[in-house]
């Protein structure tokens, strides 16, 4: 039986924390609740006590609880702390280290993993102040679930709804279990590569890294010792993942070679197929040798094929090699022939365009999952979902190999 300390702050979703308590109890775990003063405006403490079958804590200066320094002991006794719902206010306080209540004192003195389920109005969520606070809290290693998109209690529509109780519980389960991929080593490539032409110019592509990063995040949450090798991106790195930053395809290949042996390798980076045959030492001038200024010829040569190189390596080939491919025509046929040509075990085929939107920098992805003898179309789903589906396949692969 695991012990969860549930901190409830004062948002409209506070009543949904009651369902979370029921789910935790139903699974046989113990839950103790701490409420902020505002939370008690939304739901009576009695409901939390009745459902958790434990004392409910609210007051920092509670003589009885503080005889044992309650605000420290509560977190020390727990296996996991869950903050749900998390208001914009409490997130701001946490980001600045404010400790003006029992809840915020516990959060500041905490030494346990912390799962946060934000819930607020869409404008509050999108406010740069909130965004900055969230980034800061993520960089401290706290784990976020949600928020979801949808219609809010106030009638506005957008991102900010607290995640579904089952999704929050799924994260709790992951955090409390040793993880089905514990003991496995994983390598994930992500983002674009950039290939210099001269000291100031380069060739690259629009890959955002969202898909590769989501996969690395999922693998790590499932217990895999995960190494993310990424080209330059503008998104935060997943927590608890070793990150190597690279620029060129050659650097990415070298980092991959150094990373093996691994059990799982996933090549989600959009690697540039070509690089400049020669990188000019100086900035190339607009006018070259007084020749025809309207044209400039750049000679390019092929980059190494990272997927093929690692997949066909004689020593230390990963047990599972998964490639990603993006095609604009004959998707499945081309993906299958690439899979054969590159000797990889599975291939995930992205279709390039959905409703005139590129897969790059989009939160959604339309993919097909190919093995030597099967093909599944996963449809248009979030990149997080692609990561989840893929990791479920990986767990099955290692279960059946065991
Ligand atoms: C009816 C009502 C609903 C509210 N819902 C939310 C909410 O969903 N999310 C949020 O961040 N703040 C919400 N607030 C504002 C918080 O209650 C307020 O920021 C409060 O100071 C939060 O205190 P706490 O973070 O200590 O619990 C709401 C306020 C009211 C009056």
Query: Which tens digits make up the pLDDT trace of 283-300?
Result: 998 876 556 667 888 999
What the chain holds in terms of domains, given with CATH numbers, is: 3-176 (3.40.50.1950), 185-279+296-401 (3.40.50.10300)
Indicate which residue's Cα is closest to atom 3 of ligand 1. 12
41-55, 329-343, 348-362: segment of lowest average pLDDT: 348-362
**115-154 pLDDT, tens per residue?**
999 999 999 999 999 999 998 888 787 889 989 888 777 7
Nearest CA to ligand 1 atom 19: 89
Among protein residues, the one with the nearest Cα to ligand 1's atom 28 is 11
What's the average model confidence in pLDDT over 310-327? Answer: 94
Q: How far is the CA of 260 from the centre of ligand 1 (A)?
A: 49
Residue 8 CA: which ligand 1 atom is closest? Answer: 27
> 23 alpha carbon to ligand 1 midpoint, in Å?
24
User: Average pLDDT for residues 215-228, to the nearest whole number?
Assistant: 94
Ligand 1, atom nearest to 91 Cα: 25
Residues enclosing ligand 1, CB less than 6 A?
A: 9-13, 36, 38-39, 87-90, 119-120, 124
Q: How far apart are CA 58 and CA 40, in angstroms?
A: 9
Mutate to test the pocket of ligand 1, among 6, 10, 104 (most ligand atoms within 8 A of CB): 10
CB half-sphere exposure, 142, CA atoms < 13 A: 26
What residue has token string 């690395």? 216
- Model confidence band, residue 356 (pLDDT cutoffs 50, 70, 90): low
For the annotated catalytic residues, the residue numbers are 154
Distance between CA atoms of 80 and 29, rounded to whole angstroms?
A: 11
Please tell me the distance between residue 12's alpha carbon and the centre of ligand 1 in angstroms.
Answer: 7
Helices (H), 181-248: 210-221
For ligand 1, the distance from its centroid to the CA atom of residue 11, given in whole angstroms, is 4
Q: Give the distance (Å) from ligand 1 centre to CA of residue 83.
A: 14
DSSP lists the bridge partners of residue 243 as: 228
- Tell me if the pTM is above 0.85: no
Ligand 1 atom with the smallest distance to the CA of 153 is: 8
């Amino acid at each position: 039986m695991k012990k969860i300390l549930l901190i409830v702050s004062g948002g409209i979703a506070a009543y949904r924390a009651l369902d979370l308590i029921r789910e935790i109890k139903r699974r046989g775990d113990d839950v103790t609740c701490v409420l902020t003063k505002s939370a008690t405006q939304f739901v009576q403490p009695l409901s939390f006590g009745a459902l958790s079958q434990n004392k409910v804590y609210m007051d920092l200066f509670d003589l009885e609880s503080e005889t044992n320094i309650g605000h420290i002991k509560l977190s020390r006794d727990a296996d996991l702390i869950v903050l749900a719902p998390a208001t914009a206010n409490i997130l701001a306080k946490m980001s600045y280290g404010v400790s003006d209540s029992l809840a915020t004192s516990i959060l500041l003195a905490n030494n346990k993993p912390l799962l946060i389920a934000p819930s607020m109005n869409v404008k509050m969520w999108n406010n740069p102040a909130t965004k900055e606070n969230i980034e800061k809290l993520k960089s401290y290693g706290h784990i976020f679930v949600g928020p979801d998109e949808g219609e809010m209690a106030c009638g506005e529509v957008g991102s900010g709804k607290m995640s579904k109780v089952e999704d929050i519980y799924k994260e709790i389960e992951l955090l409390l279990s040793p993880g089905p991929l514990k003991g496995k080593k994983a390598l994930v490539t992500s983002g674009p590569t950039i290939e210099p032409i001269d000291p100031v110019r380069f060739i690259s592509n629009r890959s955002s890294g969202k898909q590769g990063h989501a996969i690395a995040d999922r693998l790590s949450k499932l217990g895999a010792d995960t190494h993310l090798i990424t080209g330059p991106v503008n998104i935060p790195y997943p927590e608890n993942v070793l990150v190597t930053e690279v620029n060129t395809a050659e650097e990415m290949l070298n980092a991959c070679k150094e990373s093996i042996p691994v059990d799982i390798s996933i090549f989600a980076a959009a690697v540039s197929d070509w690089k400049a045959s020669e990188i000019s030492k100086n900035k190339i001038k607009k006018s070259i040798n007084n020749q025809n200024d309207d044209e400039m010829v750049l000679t390019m040569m092929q980059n190494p094929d990272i997927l093929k190189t690692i997949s066909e390596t004689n020593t230390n080939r990963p047990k599972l090699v998964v490639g990603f491919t993006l095609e604009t025509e004959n998707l499945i046929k081309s993906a299958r022939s690439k899979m054969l040509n590159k000797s990889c075990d599975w291939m995930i085929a992205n279709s390039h365009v959905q409703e005139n939107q590129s897969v790059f920098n989009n939160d959604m992805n339309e993919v097909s999952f190919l093995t030597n003898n099967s093909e599944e179309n996963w449809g248009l789903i979030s990149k997080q979902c692609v990561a989840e589906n893929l990791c479920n396949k990986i767990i099955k692969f290692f279960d059946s190999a065991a």
